[in-house]
Structure 1
Amino acid sequence: MSTEKTSDANRRQSVRVSDRALFACGKLLPDEYKEILDDYSRGILPRRHKGIADIEMFIGAQSALSRLREKDEDLADFLQHMDAKISQVLKNVTNMPSPLDELQLQEINISGAGIGFDTETSYALNDIVECSLVLLPNYSYIHCIGKVVSCEEMKKEDKAKKYRVALEFTLLIEEDRERIIQHSFKLQSVALRSRRLENY
């Protein structure tokens, strides 16, 4: 029975989809990774570190605006405009970079077991990479850490080097893993419906 449950869990985690999401990542030094693991072993969630609070506040506001837009689009647009202006004023006053600046809309390939993405940064195998990920359109924020299992240079006509990177998650809380899995199932379902309609 235990083997069956493990097999089912592995199948759920292996459901992989391509998507566009807000995404940022960066390499963690061994000492930084050890500190996060030590915190996690003491029950401190890995997302509770410098800069994450700003991202979570932004995501909370965007999620609320998304729900409000379903009821009152004009009010939601006005509040979003005011939120953007206030954020810009605060940025000018503090003159400090925000982790929100790093989030870029880009294509990813994701499952409950790992994530793939294109980047201008070259990584070595087993490098530890920290990621901030916002799944759209619900603005579900996920903080995850993974090790590099592949990094291949992409062939391009221009001179700019770009790499296709694949990470295997090494630290991801189960609540967030389940969000990714449910998001993947939803995208798969949408794709299947779309293909059926095309065949009619």
Structure 2
Amino acid sequence: MDSTRNRRRSFRMDDRIQVWVHPLNEEALEGILQDFGRYRLNYCLKSHFINQREEQQPKFQILKKRNADIAAYIAHLEEQIIELADRLQTTLEETSERRKELVSVNLSADGIRLECAQSLEVGQSVELGLDLPTNSTHIVLIAKVIRCDESGDGKCTVSLEYTHILDEDIEAIIRHLAKLQQIQLQARRAS
């Protein structure tokens, strides 16, 4: 394999996270892609609100300096909205057919490698759910299988390339990886 074909666009890190992988047929994929942003919110409403709050933080800090009482009230309302979104998401997860598993992954902002209990075909599209523990973010995206190697124990190691992911979710992955690297560096310094 030549070096240009193997070059990564973003850095990768090993981690253990909660994941679900749900294979999609063409009809299901087309249905999701008709309004991917809305579909994604069915699973990621809380994360969406948290991401929006972080994005608006500079404006909020200005407001906080001008009027602390109004800022405190807005912060309270934000927490209530996030709590409501969390309850809705929990209810959806309890009724969903998608089951998360804690797995070892090699994660980047462009793709992921993980061990999967189901055999997938190269080129197949999948719905992928990721729970990023460093920032309590849940992400749902569409990915394409670019490699699938049988591991001999009924499982396979799958490499997936993200094909449909929102910018805020890419940013959440990058923040997660940066925080993970910070934690690892602090642990090295402490030992």
Aligned positions of 1:34-73 closer than 5 A = 34-40=30-36, 44-48=37-41, 52=43, 56=45
Give the 3 Å change call, closer, same or farther, for CA 106–56 of structure 1 in structure 2: farther
SS of equivalent residue, structure 1 residue 161: coil
1:31 aligns to 2:27 (yes or no)? yes
CA distance in 1, matches of 2:114, 2:45: 22
CA distance in 1, matches of 2:104, 2:180: 14
After TM superposition, the runs of 4+ consecutive aligned structure 1 residues lying more than 3 A away are none
1:124 aligns to 2:143 (yes or no)? no
Query: Any gaps of 5 or more consecutive residues in structure 2?
Result: 1-6, 50-86
SS of equivalent residue, structure 2 residue 34: helix
Shift of 1:193: 2.7
CA RMSD, aligned part only?
3.1
Q: Is the 2:19–2:129 Cα contact (8 Å) retained in structure 1?
A: yes
Aligned residues, how many?
146
Residue 160 of structure 2 corresponds to which residue in structure 1?
167
SS of equivalent residue, structure 2 residue 154: coil
The alignment-based identity, stated in percent, is: 31
Q: 1:111 aligns with which of 108, 113, 126?
A: 108
SS of equivalent residue, structure 1 residue 182: helix
CA distance in 1, matches of 2:180, 2:18: 16
Residue 179 of structure 1 corresponds to which residue in structure 2?
172
Aligned positions of 1:2-17 closer than 5 A = 14-17=10-13
CA deviation vs aligned residue, 1:9-65 (integer Å, no higher than 9, x gap) = x97x6121111222111101111112222224xxx434145xx3xx757xx9xxxxx
CA distance in 2, matches of 1:39, 1:31: 14
SS of equivalent residue, structure 1 residue 125: coil
Comparing 18-27 and 168-177, the one that deviates more: 18-27
Q: TM-score, normalised by structure 1?
A: 0.62
Q: Is the 1:117–1:166 Cα contact (8 Å) retained in structure 2?
A: yes
Q: Is the 2:144–2:162 Cα contact (8 Å) retained in structure 1?
A: yes
Query: Any gaps of 5 or more consecutive residues in structure 1?
Result: 1-9, 61-82, 91-96
